[in-house]
Structure 1
Amino acid sequence: MPRNPRNQIFPANEDLPAARGGGPLVRLWRARAELLVAATLTLATLTLLDATREGRWVPFLLLTSAISAPAATRTGRNWIAAHFWCVFSRHRLQRVCLETTMHTRAGRIPLVLWITPTTTGEKALILTRAGISAEEFEAYSEEIAAACWARSVNVYRHRTRAQLLIVEVVRRDEAPGAASPGLDRLYGRRAWVSLRPELEEPPDLRTPVRLAQVG
């Protein structure tokens, strides 16, 4: 039995097409991070092989140092881990949309325009499709949190552009790391409003709200 009407937006007796991941261009866009990493590794491997075959060790040493240096420092490891979780959460958000009713009757899911690390997890900027709203993401917040292996999820709607929303994934206590400037540079820090009544003001998107403040 659904928790509320927004968890079952389609009639139970309606024969709907299966949700799909999109066309080839959409799939390429969603896999852009993985494709970029694969292309970088391929280029680096070919460069190293070419350098060693010709007996040029200086490019080999420079390239291997540039690749291994981030993993040798705490800042570099934090940056790598933060962006790994961004890619992970992006895919899990898309999977939740496919597995629930957060897709159109044609099977199209919302677009994750941008996802950025924060000191407590990640924030995703999402463009909804026709028939989907920020309130539906709020209704499925527990499912999103479980899919992203997170503690909780907060949803914020844009004050003047209802098709835009932010999904904040909270997976840990606030800690220093590879947090980016945040989404506030796009539309301003005060452009977002929480869907939870206990939050009187939209949060400063550069400093994510802690669980104690939300609860």
Structure 2
Amino acid sequence: MSRNPRNQIYPANEDLPAAGSGLLARLWRIRTELLLIGALTLFVLTLLGATQQGRWWPFIMLTSAVSVPAVTRTGRNWVAAHFWCVATRHRLQKTCLETTMHTRAGRIPLVLWITPTRTGEKALVMTRAGISAAEFEAYAEEIAAACWARSANVYRHRKWAHLLIVEVVRRDELPGAASPGLARLYGHAWVALRSDLEEPPDLARPYALPQVG
């Protein structure tokens, strides 16, 4: 039996199409992976070209540019924080596919942007017609479980109801350097859907990268 009436927005006997979307939407979902593949391909081709021509300085400079950040704590923390951003984005999309947070045509909301925070990640989401922020709030526990996190909080924009923030909380707050966050895009006009969340999230607050060994 459903925890919340909003957890099942379609009749139980209704046959829905398999969740899916157009080519552009699918490419948008894997944009980070495509950029990484392109950068890696360019990196390998540059190294091969330099070594074949007997030029070793470009090889040394490029390998140093990659290896030096990897052996520093700051570099490892940056990689870990953005790894979790990519993982959270995919887990959010998977949750939409596995629940009713998609339209009758099978389209899921778009994760427009995601950034590290002091406690985890925050994702800016644009919903599709027929889906609201309240639907995400009804599935907050499923989102937290899918993202391997402690909890998930949902905030909607005061003016544009189709825009919402999903805050994934996976650790205690950590101090750190300031980050642009999402505030520069849409300001601070966010409303918490849960009564125990008194204030909208301050997206411009500084965050710390998760510490890795």
Q: Does TM, scored on the shorter chain, surpass 0.5?
A: yes
Question: For the Cα contact (< 8 Å) 1:78–1:178, is it kept in 2?
Answer: no
Amino acid at match of 1:9: I
Q: How does 1:5-44 map to 2 (within 5 A)?
A: 5-20=5-20, 22-44=21-43
Distance in 2 (CA, whole Å) between partners of 1:193 and 1:202 is 5
Displacement of 1:179 in angstroms is 6.7
Comparing 36-45 and 66-75, the one that deviates more: 66-75
Instruction: Give CA deviations for 1:77-113 in whole Å, capped at 9, x if unaligned.
Output: 1111111111110010000000000000010000101
Distance in 2 (CA, whole Å) between partners of 1:75 and 1:158 is 33
Question: For the Cα contact (< 8 Å) 1:117–1:179, is it kept in 2?
Answer: no
For 1:62, the equivalent position in structure 2 comes to: 61
TM-score normalised by length of structure 2? 0.92
Is structure 2 residue 54 aligned with structure 1 residue 48? no
Q: Which runs of 5+ in 1 are unaligned?
A: 209-215
Equivalent position SS for 2:141: helix
Question: For the Cα contact (< 8 Å) 1:120–1:173, is it kept in 2?
Answer: yes
Question: For the Cα contact (< 8 Å) 1:119–1:178, is it kept in 2?
Answer: no
The sequence identity of aligned pairs, in percent, is 78
Instruction: Give CA deviations for 1:138-181 in whole Å, capped at 9, x if unaligned.
Output: 01011001111111101001011100000001111112467732
Distance in 2 (CA, whole Å) between partners of 1:90 and 1:7 is 21
Provide the alpha-carbon RMSD of the alignment.
Answer: 1.4
Amino acid at match of 2:169: V
For 2:211, the equivalent position in structure 1 comes to: none
Amino acid at match of 2:94: R
Displacement of 1:28 in angstroms is 1.1
Kindly tell me the number of residue pairs found equivalent between the two proteins: 206
Q: Which runs of 5+ in 2 are unaligned?
A: 207-213
Decide which of 195, 198, 206 is 1:197's aligned counterpart: 195
TM-score normalised by length of structure 1? 0.92
Comparing 101-110 and 71-80, the one that deviates more: 71-80
Seen in structure 2, the aligned counterparts of structure 1 residues 112 and 62 have a Cα distance that, compared at 3 Å, is: same
Displacement of 1:206 in angstroms is 2.8
Distance in 2 (CA, whole Å) between partners of 1:158 and 1:24 is 28
